[in-house]
Chain A
Amino acid sequence: MAAIAMPKPSQETLKKRSKIVADLQKIVRGEGVICDEIEMRPYETDALTAYRQLPLVVVLPETVDQVSQVLKYCYDNDVKVVPRGAGTSLSGGALPLEDGVLLSMMKFNRILEIDLENRAVVTQPGVTNLGITTAVQQDGFYYAPDPSSQIACSIGGNIAENSGGVHSLKYGLTTNNLLGLEIVLITGEVIRLGGKHLDSEAYDLMALLTGSEGLLAVVTEVTVRVLQKPETARAALIGFPTSEEAGKCVAEIIGAGIIPGGMELMDKLAIDAAEDFVHAGYPLDVDALMIVELDGPEAEVDDLLKRVSAIAEKNGSSYLRVSQSEEERNTFWAGRKAAFPAVGRISPDYLCMDGTIPRAALPQVLQEMQELSEKHGLRVANVFHAGDGNLHPLILYDANKPGELAAAEAFGADILRLCVKVGGVLTGEHGVGIEKRDLMPEMYSEDDLKQQQRVKCAFDEKQLLNPGKMFPVLHRCAELGFMHVHQGQLPFPDIPRF
């Protein structure tokens, strides 16, 4: 197993384990408290499987009141808490702590209200992302953000990670489709934010909570916006002799004022792996393959497809096929959607990276990534949400070969540094978690990070919720509150006045 420094376990908590378990059993009765080692095993990791840790105890509450009581208990007794949804995080966000309660929200699995007149769905956080679409699709609606993990991941986890998907280019991320939240603070206080109205009152706390990786509060209810499904969706499969041409084509489509429903790219290694796995009919003589989906009224889709094809041709495309049926469109996507597992078949292990870059930097980044691949002696397959510059380089390695995991991690870190260097960011949708935690200073100064941590202090002063994630250095809140006192004289006579 790989190693990353986590907060030192509290010996006191570890010693009190059986009392803590007994106390929690009084709050959540029956099978809602799991303390047997074998039964806790499934919770020891999320989708970043290189890291594993058994929790102190697993608790599966069923009511908001239980969540509130569990958190208050932990607050009163200084016990750490790690919230967990479906455990599909790719950044280790749900990795347990040895001295922490693992709070699974998966029993919160009911949709509470479907209000199509207001285009809103109120749901518990353990409902899967796809579950929301499934609940409204007979009426022609859907929930737009569509992570590839949508059959498994929970909407609560989506809030915590601000997840996105193929359709986020046109329809936004979780944060843009969220109307209301109910949260429970570590103190046990229950707070409601927003509702079915469009803008929430006072400070935009929903903005802070979305993407907060379970560090600020536990989400117990979610209200999302649902949209009417577009009447037509057609996809074009476009091949290019080089990634550079594909990258230019992406920029030119957007530059022409076209915002496709989705625009994805795969490189040679990913194309071959996907084709081998699902037989989507991808061309094998191209170096880069783009899937562009246009959606809306049929006439609009046809018109835009023509324009996209022309732009592709101008940029040297060597292959073009437009889907003629819903079945064919789904086949185009099948390869892309299975790209991760497909790559999993050609390599014993892989590490999925997630940086975002300005679109214009795509050719440069691909070039430099190739050089890094040679330097680290590891192969990399690339699939990306090209429309919004979100890269998913998959680094292939074999964990059984000594040193390969470390090499893969070093390669990954280099890729993320490269993203930051060209004006991008460390993570577009998978979150910081533990995986990118120690790279945060690549992007942010100490003051930037301290101001972020002060937000945490407003929500969770004792830092009991998911500590050890997101921030490389844990500062105590008292320390973060410290201020240098300056001399009171106006030391800047030159500053203009009016």
Chain B
Amino acid sequence: MGEGFHPTTADELEAVVKWASAERTPLEVIGSGSKCNWGRAVQSAHTLRVDGISGVIDYEPAELVLTVKAGTPLTDVQTLLKEHNQELPFEPADLSAVLGGPNQAGTIGGVLATNLSGPRRLKAGAARDHVLGLEAVSGRGEIFKAGGRVVKNVTGYDLSRGFCSSWGTLAVATSFSIKVLPRAAKECTFVLLGLTPQEASSAMSEAMGSSAEVSSAAHLPKGFCPLSQEHSITLLRLEGIPVSIDYRLNKLRSILKRFPSQELIEGQASRKTWGDLRDLIPFAGSDKPLWKLSVSPTAGQQMIAELEKRFAIRWMMDWAGGLVWVEMQGEEPHDVPLRRLIAENGGGHATLLRASAELRTSVDVFQPLPETLMGLSKRLKAQFDPHNILNPGRMYAGI
């Protein structure tokens, strides 16, 4: 049984990593450990928990910048921002419903290390787009900082964004500066009923290409969840000040008038709808393999059409079609055909979000990389973590 380190300061954390680096003994890095069931299983002797390094360092609402320690619970961050009528614009998900584990347990470090972004990513950008600065301990056991507390900054390489989606394999973050934004005064969701995936795709594409400033766009097939019990539904979210929303709603009504079956979800109900989609509630209560497909938005419906021909699936489209969640009803590995279809439909990538431990060890959880890119990624890993002690093997063999 290895040690379970629980440092409470950046210096303590540095000491642990320094030691592990000298010993060449691997550490599994966890925020609160809420996502241990995601990614590849890590082979490590010891565990390093970051949620002891917690708390707000600096928050100046008028600057729209929050500086916070990496192990701070996401819920604390969200509560604080809400008090000042602000929010994390990329709306990270609470994936406990699909991944198991306690809910509301994630840390801000876990969110950024996985670049977790919700439906509003379509308009507001991903988690990585909001990171301004980073302090971290590299796998060499050295504290370094990058970026700063201001939005415009090109002083040196952008290691802060580079940290995002590194899954704790390059460095362990101890604090971040993050750009936050005011919460919208109002939101509502314009709904189209009964569209085919192709129709939904073109409706979403038209809406996104208009000046209606749609902030989220999703499509759920008929029978997929309670909301879409009787018809498929296509959801277009509008946020902003009331006069603006009214105007943009009319705009959507008119450009999409060829789809006459229209409805409106307002206020709290709209918020709940997007919250449920963000947290993947429709896929809860199952342990079937769940894949996240990132493709060009118009390719989403093509992927679905092709997949439905071959497999039994449950699915939904978010990000105007650019994000397709697919739950495979069969147990056999689907990684190869899924990725081939993506390559044939304009490219993108597939990540296995939920699966049995067995399946996760037998398929590539993350998109396999071409040789040259894999080589570069390994060299980058080696420059941060030369002895491969941080989450070895979490993303790829050797990374």
Q: Chain A residues in contact with chain B, CB under 8 A? A: 115-120, 140-141, 161-162, 164, 168-169, 172-173, 175-176, 185, 189-193, 195-199, 201-205, 207-208, 210-212, 216, 228-231, 251-252, 254-255, 257-259, 296-300, 303-304, 356-360, 385, 388-390, 423-432, 436, 440, 443-445, 447-452, 454-459, 470, 481, 483, 485-488, 490-492, 495-498
Contact = CB atoms under 8 A, between A and B. Distances in A.
A162 B212 CA distance: 28
Contacts of A432: 154-156
Interface of B: 3-8, 12, 15-16, 18-19, 21-23, 49, 52, 60-65, 85, 115, 117, 121-122, 125-126, 128-129, 138, 140-146, 148-159, 161-162, 164-166, 170, 181-183, 202, 205, 208-211, 213, 240-241, 243-244, 246-248, 251, 294-298, 319, 322-323, 346-349, 366-367, 369-370, 372-373, 375-377, 379-380, 382-384, 386, 395-396
Contacts, number: 301
Contacts of A197: 294-296, 322, 347-349
Nearest to A443: B155
In the complex, which of the residues B4, B143, B205, B243 has the most CB atoms of chain A within 10 Å of its own CB atom?
Answer: B243
Given A119-B209, A208-B159, A429-B152, 9 more contacts: A198-B121, A204-B161, A204-B162, A207-B161, A230-B211, A300-B243, A359-B62, A457-B383, A497-B6
B201 to A, nearest CB: 9
Given A447-B142, A452-B157, A496 B19 contact: no
A492 B19 contact: yes
Contact of A203 (B143, B205, B298, B377): B377
Nearest to A485: B22
Contacts of A296: 211, 213, 240, 244
Contacts of A486: 18-19, 22, 141
B115 A199 contact: yes
A169 B181 CA distance: 12
Contact of A358 (B149, B158, B244): B149
Contacts of A195: 296, 346-348
The 10 A-B pairs with the shortest beta carbon distances in the complex, nearest first, are A257-B182, A207-B161, A196-B296, A255-B62, A300-B244, A428-B152, A454-B383, A458-B379, A201-B349, A197-B348
A448 B382 contact: no
A199 B294 contact: yes
Contacts of A429: 152, 154
B298 A118 contact: yes
Nearest to B58: A423
A461 to B, nearest CB: 8
B157 A455 contact: yes
A117 B298 contact: yes
A141 B209 CA distance: 8
A133 to B, nearest CB: 15
Given A432-B156, A497-B6, A481 B144 contact: no
Given A204-B162, A448-B145, A488-B23, A162 B154 contact: yes
21 contacts: A115-B296, A164-B152, A191-B372, A191-B373, A198-B121, A198-B323, A202-B377, A203-B170, A207-B164, A210-B158, A228-B210, A300-B241, A360-B60, A424-B149, A426-B155, A447-B143, A451-B138, A451-B146, A485-B22, A486-B141, A498-B5
A433 to B, nearest CB: 10
A424 B6 contact: no
A303 B386 CA distance: 56
